[in-house]
């Protein structure tokens, strides 16, 4: 029997409840398993908060409850897509979920994260306030089609304090992760095209805001360069220490990729991959993870390191990024005068 996506969580929790003698034991069992308080458990039982991929898998395996009716999924690798349970109806929902996922990753024992991306990683793009708001707005009017922003022009004030708080947590979580990244010289392309397109379509009309977006992009480029030369990950505006997470970057133009995050740790491995960006799928299938890890390792070996020891190469790479921003800024300024 098929289950409507909107009722998926309720159906799963009903099956879970059958494992307990009463609701009080259910609340206690879920809370102890997920390490959350009673209020947080009740929010999940009511459907006010959605179960994350990790929570769903953990509950299924701990209490031997099938995710799908008639199929025992407790030992079967899962591919999880958040939007298959509940379509994103608000930006706050998406970033609350992403915040939980990044917190789960940082809490893993001896975690290492490999990240390959064709564009500026979301957690770097959201390190500055105006570009952060711009990115959220573009997702809201495109991928998520949020009604609240229909027909509106961009302004940072459209983003709620709650969404900003979730994003702050995401940025903090990511900056606590050691790992490697694969970049191409085109990592700014999508963002620069978005700015141009929003300007052309009348959704970005304030020239001061437009100029500020380019300025913040330049700040982010400088920060990325500082991290590569330090070999450490740290927040924008801060200084790395010996305890800052290790950070390695490889430049490779030989293979296109969607955004892929490969999580390796003592207790859990997982792959997150963008699907209809910024939405993503998650899998803990060991076969998928093995292939993804081999693929990343091959690209890292055939790529060029960006660090303090590859001085000229690293300098040229970031010089090219700055040139891209400058050219886009000049075109934007010319377009605002001509049109």
Burial of 138 (0-12, 13-18, 19+ CB in 10 A): buried
Q: What is the pLDDT of residue 308?
A: 95
Among 41-45, 58-62, 72-76, 187-191, where is mean pLDDT lowest? 72-76
Rounded to an integer, the average pLDDT of 270-280 is 86
Q: What is the pLDDT of residue 213?
A: 98
Q: What is the pLDDT of residue 18?
A: 79
What is the Cα–Cα distance from 276 to 257, expressed in whole angstroms?
Answer: 13
What is the Cα–Cα distance from 17 to 298, expressed in whole angstroms?
Answer: 46
CB count within 10 Å of CB 257 equals: 16
- Angle, helices 311-338 vs 189-200, to 10°: value is 0
Domain annotation for the chain: domains and CATH numbers: 1-76 (1.10.260), 78-338 (no CATH)
More confident residue, 178 or 9: 178
pLDDT per residue over 55-65, tens digit each?
Answer: 888 888 788 78
Q: What is the pLDDT of residue 15?
A: 84
Q: Is residue 81 pLDDT above 80, yes or no?
A: no
pLDDT per residue over 199-235, tens digit each?
Answer: 999 999 999 999 999 999 999 999 999 999 999 999 9
DSSP 191-217: HHHHHHHHHHTTS---HHHHHHHHHHH
Q: What is the pLDDT of residue 84?
A: 46
Among 53-67, 119-133, 170-184, 216-230, where is mean pLDDT lowest? 53-67
Q: What is the pLDDT of residue 298?
A: 94
Going from the C-alpha of 55 to that of each of 19, 77, 255, 284, 307, the distances in angstroms are 17, 14, 33, 13, 38
- Model pTM? 0.78
DSSP 261-316: EEEE-SS--EEEEESSTT-EEEE--HHHHHHHHHHHHHHHHHSEE-STTSHHHHHH
pLDDT grade for 260, boundaries at 50, 70 and 90: very high
What is the Cα–Cα distance from 129 to 49, expressed in whole angstroms?
Answer: 27
List, in sequence order, every residue forming a beta bridge with 183; answer none if it has no partner. Answer: 251
Mean of all residue pLDDT scores within the chain:
89
Which residues, including other chains, have CB under 8 Å from residue 321's CB and lie 6 or more apart? 185, 187, 188, 221, 224
- Angle, helices 311-338 vs 207-230, to 10°: value is 180
Among 38-42, 224-228, 252-256, where is mean pLDDT lowest? 252-256
Structure tokens at 236: 């924008």
Structure tokens at 185: 């010289």
List, in sequence order, every residue forming a beta bridge with 114; answer none if it has no partner. Answer: 180, 262
pLDDT grade for 88, boundaries at 50, 70 and 90: low
Q: What is the pLDDT of residue 282?
A: 84
Percentage of the chain lying above the pLDDT 90 cut: 63
């Amino acid at each position: 029997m098929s289950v409507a996506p909107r009722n998926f969580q309720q159906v799963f929790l009903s099956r879970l409840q059958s494992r307990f003698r009463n609701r009080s034991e259910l609340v206690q069992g879920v809370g102890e398993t997920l390490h959350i308080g009673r209020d947080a458990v009740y929010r999940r039982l009511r459907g006010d908060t959605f179960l994350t991929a990790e929570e769903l898998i953990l509950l299924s395996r701990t209490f031997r409850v099938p995710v799908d009716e008639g199929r025992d999924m407790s030992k079967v690798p899962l591919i999880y897509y958040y939007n298959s349970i509940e379509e994103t109806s608000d930006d706050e929902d998406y970033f609350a979920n992403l915040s939980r996922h990044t917190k789960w990753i940082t809490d893993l024992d001896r975690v290492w994260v490999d990240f390959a991306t064709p564009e500026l990683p979301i957690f770097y793009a959201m390190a500055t306030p105006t570009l952060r708001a711009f990115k959220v707005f573009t997702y809201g009017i495109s991928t998520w089609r949020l009604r609240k922003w229909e027909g509106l022009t961009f302004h940072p004030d459209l983003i709620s304090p709650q969404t900003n708080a979730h994003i702050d947590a995401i940025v903090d979580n990511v900056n606590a992760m050691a790992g490697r990244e694969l970049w191409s010289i085109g990592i700014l392309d999508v963002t620069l095209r978005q700015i141009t397109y929003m300007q052309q379509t009348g959704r970005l009309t304030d020239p001061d805001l437009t100029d500020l977006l380019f300025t913040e992009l330049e700040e982010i480029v400088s920060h990325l360069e500082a991290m590569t030369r330090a070999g450490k990950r740290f927040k924008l505006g801060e200084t790395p220490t010996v305890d800052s997470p290790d950070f390695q970057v490889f430049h490779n133009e030989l293979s296109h990729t969607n955004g892929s995050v490969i999580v390796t740790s003592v207790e859990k491995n997982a792959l997150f991959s963008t699907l209809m960006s910024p939405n993503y799928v998650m899998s803990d299938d060991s076969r998928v993870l093995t292939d993804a890890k081999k693929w990343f390792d091959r690209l890292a070996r055939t790529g060029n390191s960006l660090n303090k020891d590859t001085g000229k190469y690293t300098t040229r790479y970031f010089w090219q990024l700055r040139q891209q921003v400058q050219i886009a800024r000049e075109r934007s300024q010319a377009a605002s005068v001509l049109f």
